[in-house]
Chain A
Amino acid sequence: MPAAIVTVLTFLALVGLAWLFLTRTVLGRGFSVPLRTMLRAPETAQYPEQPRPVQPRFHGRHQLNRYADGLEKCIGCELCAWACPADAIYVQGEDNTPQARYSPGERYAEDYQINYNRCILCGLCIEACPTRALTMTHDFEISADNYDALVWTKDQLLAPVPPGGEDTPHPDREVRRRGLNYYGGLAVTPPTLHGGSFAPATPAPASRAAQVVPEVGDPTHRKGR
């Protein structure tokens, strides 16, 4: 028999024996597991150095959002506090005034606190928010070494002022001049003011439609549904 055939047959016999060992014997079946695992890519996440991205719908810490012009979306309605099953949210509403306007509505959140000692991150608050003022971000590294640091106040929760916008408060006259359609609907622009005069609700002119950016940053929304 030529040497080449012998080599091939020996090789095949060895492969067959190895296969029999790995599938038919108790010891071999046990050892087949580490062999298989060695061939797989490791699944270990190097967390603090290379954090793994979270899923898009992740419930991280909250954020209080702003409109493109810097006005706060929160209207101080306290629905988030009502929805919260853990009693973690405290909202103190206050009236907007002609000199100082914080939000498009009548009222704004003068104080807003989320107590992360209590919060269970269930997300009922963001589902309750009628203006998308409250959203949940992908930030989850909020641990602290004392209770007080876990009570987040409004200045910590509030999103940064978007480029081109101004920090609140705004003069009411300025806000009216912009004539922005804050909620995207027809009937609420321009906003009414406590103690102020009521302007007729008219649709925003088509020329202004491009200015209506309901979101800070990326105006296009990817629907989660």
Chain B
Amino acid sequence: MAIDPTATPSATPPATAADLDDDIYVEGADWESVVDAVSDDHITVNMGPQHPSTHGVLRLVLDLDGETVTRLTPIVGYLHTGIEKNTEVRTWVQGTTFVTRMDYLSPFYNEAAFCLATEKLLGVRVPERAEVVRVILLEFNRIASHLVWLATGGMELGSTTVMEFGFREREHILDLFEAQSGLRMNHAYIRPGGLAQDVTDDFLERSAALVDLLAERMRDYEDLLVENPIWHARLKNVGRIDADTCLRLGVTGPVLRAAGVPWDLRKAQPYSGYERYEFDVPTRTEGDSFARFLIRLEEMRQSMHIIRQALEVLPGGPVMVDDKRIAWPSQQSLGADGIGNDPDYIRHIMGESMEALINHFKLVTQGFTVPPGQVYVPVESPRGELGYAVTSIGTNKPYRVHVRAPSFVNLQAADVMARGQGVADVVVVVASLDPVMGDVDR
């Protein structure tokens, strides 16, 4: 600070930011009002947006009484991407490539919710196989997302071993995603009406082996953390929030379940055939960061349970609806030149059927039209209720896509959870909320 150490304590301190202007050279945005708001015994500390433990570009303004947080104000918007707005000028299929980039740790959930909303407007039901593959990929994605949470959360507490473990296992999951969609993140693999292409031939064995590997590696995290005294000291009784407050703030996901409310959309409002799988919704009553840690570990285990069931029931058949007016036409295959359209399909459209070629051109250039209507489709993402409110006015583009982002809503609870805690606990609070800034700002 700019306070002169040689000055006598009786000297009147500058009253406003304007008086301080000559001494300190911090400016921009709302800094002056923040400084003016400082009362005598409180100080205001700005944390972020460029701070390693704020999960990207979250800015927190902390009112501190000594070392104790009296108020936490999250300031968002530093990662605004305009994806919601951009979907209005893209076709429905192109929209999936955009929405998958919102919550970049759980891209499949964004695609699935957007496509479920589009399918609801279209009134189509995707084939059985596509539905089961979606469930498998979604649950793998939940594990991957929780692993990143574990990894980054551990790193923020100084445990880099946990960080390496989390990313080590996630890498294997990303390999599986890459094998199916060609991309490790932001896949655009789930499309309105089904999937972009069928899974690889070795999908079943590979997924089963991966689940076994993950189940084995779960032991590492448990042995290392569940009874670890340092982990207990940092997480237990930190960031407590009770069920009532959660409900009032609209908090969902692991944070709500750690407070004792068994609310899981996969059970409450099943989609994509989740009603056919047997799994538990883990809950705890403590509502602190340690309870959230245990809930997420148990959720990973439940996800593996769901994947094992889904792998058993995975049927054959198409992965895209039969309706040629909706189904994205391409069929892809591998060659020496990489991945591209299948020569059989090329022969069909270029050599055999002019109608098929016209349909191909029409779907690629214009896309399909969606009947007018408005839907809200929520899915249970790793962070909570991820809802897509999609409006169509009967054109080939969405009229409006609004996302109820779990990270954004859950971030409201950070203030309640951090009050009365130390500054170091703010890191734990934010980590246990698991916000993804791409999801918050959209």
Where the two chains meet, the residues of A that have a C-beta atom closer than 8 Å to any C-beta of B are 26, 29-30, 32-33, 36-37, 43, 54-60, 63, 65, 77, 79, 82-83, 85-86, 120-124, 126-132, 134-138, 159, 183-188, 214-218, 221-225
Contact = CB atoms under 8 A, between A and B. Distances in A.
Interface of B: 90, 93-94, 97-98, 101, 161, 168, 171, 175, 178-183, 186, 188, 196-198, 200, 220, 223-224, 227-229, 328, 330-344, 346-352, 357, 360-361, 364-365
26 contacts: A29-B224, A32-B223, A56-B334, A82-B365, A85-B90, A120-B97, A122-B97, A123-B182, A124-B188, A127-B328, A127-B332, A127-B341, A128-B330, A129-B341, A130-B341, A130-B357, A131-B346, A131-B350, A132-B340, A132-B343, A137-B337, A188-B351, A221-B333, A221-B334, A221-B335, A222-B333
B23 to A, nearest CB: 41
Given A135-B338, A136-B338, A215-B336, A130 B349 contact: yes
Given A82-B364, A188-B350, A137 B178 contact: no
A184 B346 contact: yes
Given A183-B347, A184-B343, A85 B333 contact: no
Contacts of B229: 26
A224 B333 contact: yes
B269 to A, nearest CB: 30
Contacts of A83: 94, 364
B220 A36 contact: yes
Given A127-B330, A130-B350, A59 B342 contact: no
Contact of B183 (A37, A122, A134, A214): A122
A122 to B, nearest CB: 4
Contact of B351 (A37, A137, A185): A185
B196 to A, nearest CB: 7
B182 A55 contact: yes
Which of B200, B339, B341 is packed against the most chain A CB atoms within 10 Å?
Answer: B339
A135 B337 contact: yes
A28 B239 CA distance: 29
Nearest to B366: A82
Given A36-B220, A126-B340, A214-B343, A136 B182 contact: yes
Contacts of B334: 56-57, 221-224
A189 B417 CA distance: 72
A134 B340 CA distance: 7
B33 to A, nearest CB: 38
B360 A130 contact: yes
Contacts of A36: 220
A32 B286 CA distance: 29
B346 A57 contact: no
Contacts of A126: 332, 339-341
A37 B168 CA distance: 12
B52 to A, nearest CB: 23
Given A56-B179, A85-B98, 11 more contacts: A43-B168, A82-B365, A122-B97, A124-B94, A132-B335, A137-B337, A184-B350, A215-B336, A222-B334, A224-B339, A225-B333
Contacts of A60: 338
B338 A137 contact: yes
Nearest to B337: A135
B228 A30 contact: yes
A218 B335 contact: yes
A54 B178 contact: yes
A32 to B, nearest CB: 6
B364 A29 contact: no
Contact of A26 (B161, B180, B228, B332): B228
A54 B98 CA distance: 24
A216 to B, nearest CB: 6
B350 A185 contact: yes
B338 A138 contact: yes
B336 A218 contact: yes
A61 B196 CA distance: 19
B223 to A, nearest CB: 4
A59 B339 contact: yes
A58 B185 CA distance: 12
B350 A183 contact: yes
